[in-house]
């Protein structure tokens, strides 16, 4: 590999999560780990353009960074204190429910659970995960979530201080706490993916770098926890959703699933996602992400929109409602009912949902669904009002373009 600056920075980004996790485990301090990693990059940028990227760049970076951290701790006479802190916060025994990992994988899993600790604010969990394991810069994370770079920097700094002050350990949770903690990690990865897939604000409607990072982190988690079906289910869901990304926006406007060019779907991702769904079905321990993945598998299995097995989709939403009885799940089920029993039956269900769940008033998909059903029933005036309500709370540029066009087509 040539030792160009771009190649070096790409290697550094790919190795960043593994590097930081190893340094945090060794020195017990995120700031020291980040500073040492940054110094290792500087050395790499000085040496690699001439010598080329070494055969094991991750090992080179880790050794260089560790040496820099040790030098700094010696200078500041903090080494013993930091090492004691690391011992206190790091549990090096194999985890009973996960088996024995390679050290670097074990380190990343520990750090992932730290980044997603429930003591941290939800937005801080996402930011830390992207920064420490995804290797994104503070500027990139701030741009992704449409906040000033200083705000995002302060958010990350506060989260790191919280970890230190609360002595949040760098460890895999105990078996009794694992299900809840895994759920938190999966939620963070799902939110990261969704922000990329349906980006908020006036920028690009899709942030491919965020969907890619979420998938990469989900793959790491899957490799570390292959026996956890919800981890497998989330990865399957992300892959099957990502497979449709290129066909989802055309000319700056959202393209509905039924109208997408299925020839533009990524068949390799679909095949991988379907295999993971079958693996989940064989385990017979259904969870939220597994069922969502199965729903997406039905859609991506249909060669045409008309061939979609809506009865199976509705049955899967029934199963999901038993696991997650939320109004949003019920709303999505109503969309399937519209295809089975007609828009009038579905509209009655959607209107009841609106009465029972006032929170849906601020959810643009609720109003967009009503608008579509009213449109199909020929109730144009009411459909126009529903489109207006959807536009008032929709902040994705491609969706707004689609809703505006559909509203303009009403007679």
Under DSSP, the state recorded for 133 is I
CA end-to-end distance (rounded Å), the chain: 60
Weakest-pLDDT range from 40-44, 274-278, 374-378: 40-44
| CA gap 20, 336 in Å, rounded | 45
> Quick one: which H or E segment has residue 253?
strand 253-254
Which two three-digit tokens encode residue 29? 């301090």
- For tokens 């009655």, name the residue: 348
Higher per-residue pLDDT: 163 or 137: 163
**pLDDT confidence of 116, banded at 50, 70, 90?**
confident
Question: What contacts 170, CB < 8 A, 6 or more positions away?
Answer: 24, 25, 28, 89, 90, 110, 111, 114
Which two three-digit tokens encode residue 67? 């040496």
166 near 89, Cβ under 8 Å? no
**pLDDT confidence of 83, banded at 50, 70, 90?**
low
Predicted confidence at residue 237, as pLDDT, reads 98
| CA gap 408, 296 in Å, rounded | 30
Domain boundaries, the chain: 5-90, 309-411
For the chain, percent of residues with pLDDT exceeding 90: 44
- 21-64 pLDDT, tens digit per residue, is 888 888 888 888 999 998 988 888 888 888 888 888 888 888 89
Computed over every residue of the chain, the mean pLDDT equals: 86
C-alpha pair distances (Å), 283 with each of 2, 226, 254, 324, 383: 45, 12, 36, 20, 44
Task: Please determine, for residue 377, whether its predicted confidence score (pLDDT) is greater than 90.
Answer: yes
Average pLDDT over residues 290-294: 98
Predicted confidence at residue 200, as pLDDT, reads 65
| CA gap 168, 159 in Å, rounded | 11
Q: What is the value of pTM for the model shown?
A: 0.75
Predicted confidence at residue 172, as pLDDT, reads 76
Which fold, 309-411? 1.25.40
| CA gap 229, 279 in Å, rounded | 8
Predicted confidence at residue 142, as pLDDT, reads 82
For the chain, percent of residues with pLDDT exceeding 70: 90
**pLDDT confidence of 87, banded at 50, 70, 90?**
very low
- 324-350 pLDDT, tens digit per residue, is 999 999 999 999 999 999 999 999 999
Task: Please determine, for residue 99, whether its predicted confidence score (pLDDT) is greater than 50.
Answer: no
């Amino acid at each position: 590999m040539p030792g160009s600056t771009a190649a070096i920075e790409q290697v550094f980004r790919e190795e960043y999560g593994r590097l930081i996790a190893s340094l945090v485990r060794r020195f017990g301090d995120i700031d020291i780990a980040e500073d040492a990693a940054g110094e290792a990059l500087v050395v790499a940028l000085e040496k690699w353009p001439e010598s080329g990227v070494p055969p094991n760049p991750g090992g080179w970076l880790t050794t260089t960074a560790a040496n820099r951290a040790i030098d700094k701790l010696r200078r500041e006479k903090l080494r013993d204190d930091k090492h004691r802190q690391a011992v206190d916060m790091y549990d090096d025994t194999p985890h009973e429910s996960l088996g024995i990992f390679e050290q670097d994988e074990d380190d990343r899993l520990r750090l992932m659970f730290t980044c997603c600790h429930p003591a941290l604010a939800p937005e801080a969990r996402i930011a830390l995960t992207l920064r420490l394991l995804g290797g994104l810069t503070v500027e990139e994370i701030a741009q992704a979530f449409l906040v000033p770079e200083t705000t995002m920097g302060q958010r990350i700094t506060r989260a790191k201080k919280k970890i230190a002050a609360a002595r949040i350990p760098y460890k895999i949770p105990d078996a009794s706490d694992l299900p809840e903690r895994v759920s938190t990690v999966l939620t963070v990865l799902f939110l990261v993916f969704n922000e990329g897939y349906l980006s908020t604000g006036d920028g690009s409607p899709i942030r491919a770098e965020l969907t890619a990072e979420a998938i990469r982190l989900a793959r790491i988690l899957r490799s570390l926890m292959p026996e956890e079906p919800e981890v497998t289910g989330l990865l399957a869901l992300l892959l099957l959703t990502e497979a449709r990304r290129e066909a989802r926006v055309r000319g700056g406007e959202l393209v509905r699933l039924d109208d997408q060019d299925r020839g533009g779907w990524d068949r390799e991702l679909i095949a991988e996602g379907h295999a993971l769904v079958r693996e989940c079905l064989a385990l017979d321990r259904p969870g939220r992400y597994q069922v969502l993945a199965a729903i997406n598998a039905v859609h991506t299995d249909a060669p045409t929109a008309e061939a979609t097995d809506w009865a199976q989709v509705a049955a899967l939403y029934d199963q999901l409602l038993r696991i997650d009885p939320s109004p949003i799940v019920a709303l999505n089920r109503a969309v399937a009912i519209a295809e089975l029993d007609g828009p009038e039956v579905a509209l009655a269900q959607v209107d009841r949902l609106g009465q029972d769940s006032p929170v849906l008033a601020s959810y643009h998909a609720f109003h967009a669904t009503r608008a579509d059903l009213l449109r199909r029933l020929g109730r144009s005036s009411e459909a126009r009002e529903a489109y207006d309500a959807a536009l008032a709370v929709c902040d994705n540029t491609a969706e707004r373009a689609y809703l505006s066009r559909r509203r303009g087509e009403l007679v």
